Structure 1
């Protein structure tokens, strides 16, 4: 059975993100290559990946080349830096599905780029990106930004286990 993964905020081709978020890369080329290798080290060709936005700052051809190198069935939920391009642009570069809006997954995860308000009485965990190295306290938000997870996507099971552990702790 295929695994399902979540990740966000790769910012492929964005030179300044290295300084903004203290990423451990000497240049944008190294950053791009390490992030592609990190993705493929956990995601298999039959797996599904939800990318929660801010994927690439590169042109269409360069973005297409990166998407083609990444394993898995890729679903993009548009982030603030992705919205300057149309849904069809993202499909053309190789994403299998593109959503302009948040998605509810398995009646448990509320997937969005930016953190969303989740009432403590709601049954959801908001898996989100956007805030990079920051984190919200509590059990209702899970920051999937690459900076927190060694630039690797996390599986549904990993996130669910972390959420359950935080509720018990």
Structure 2
């Protein structure tokens, strides 16, 4: 059975993110290699991964070389650092699908880069990135940034289970 994963904010090639987020790497190259290994440790060839933005700071050639190393079908929802490049640029870089806007998954989960405003009366869950090591409290938000999952995409069933466990508390 093919699995579905979610992840956000790799910032491949972004040396300064190491200091901004206290990532445990000496260089962007070391970070990139680790993140590729972590991705492939959990994602199989036929799995699907929703990347919630801020994927790469490299040019198209280097970005494509990274995308080609990553297992799974890759769906990119553009983040604030991705939007300077066209949808076609990202497709040419190897993504299977690209969305400029948030998408609704399974009629209940809103996948976006930036967290969306969710009031307590809304029944939906916003799975997002953008805020890195910060977290919003409550049942309406799930932060999929790499910092929370040792740089591994998180399985959608694990997200669902963690939200159900929160609801029971």
User: Structure 1 residue 74: deviation in Å?
Assistant: 0.2
The CA distance in 2 between the partners of 1:26 and 1:162, in whole Å, is 32
Residue 11 (structure 1) aligns with: 11
Map residues 3-152 of structure 1 onto 2, 5 A cutoff.
3-152=3-152
* Superposition CA RMSD, Å: 0.6
User: Structure 1 residue 55: deviation in Å?
Assistant: 0.1
1:15-35 CA-to-partner distances (Å, cap 9, x unmatched) read: 000000000111111000000
SS at match of 1:76: strand
SS at match of 2:68: helix
Structure 2 residues without counterparts, runs of 5 or longer: none
User: Structure 1 residue 82: deviation in Å?
Assistant: 0.0
Q: How many residues align?
A: 169
User: Structure 1 residue 123: deviation in Å?
Assistant: 2.0
SS at match of 1:82: coil
User: Structure 1 residue 43: deviation in Å?
Assistant: 0.2
The CA distance in 1 between the partners of 2:3 and 2:123, in whole Å, is 23
The CA distance in 2 between the partners of 1:125 and 1:149, in whole Å, is 19
User: Structure 1 residue 133: deviation in Å?
Assistant: 0.6
The CA distance in 1 between the partners of 2:4 and 2:22, in whole Å, is 28
The CA distance in 1 between the partners of 2:39 and 2:121, in whole Å, is 34
User: Structure 1 residue 107: deviation in Å?
Assistant: 1.4
User: Structure 1 residue 124: deviation in Å?
Assistant: 1.1
1:77-129 CA-to-partner distances (Å, cap 9, x unmatched) read: 00000000000000000000000000000112100000001122222110000
Structure 1 residues without counterparts, runs of 5 or longer: none
Please report the TM-score for the alignment, with normalisation by the length of structure 2: 0.99
The CA distance in 1 between the partners of 2:122 and 2:73, in whole Å, is 29
The CA distance in 1 between the partners of 2:107 and 2:3, in whole Å, is 17
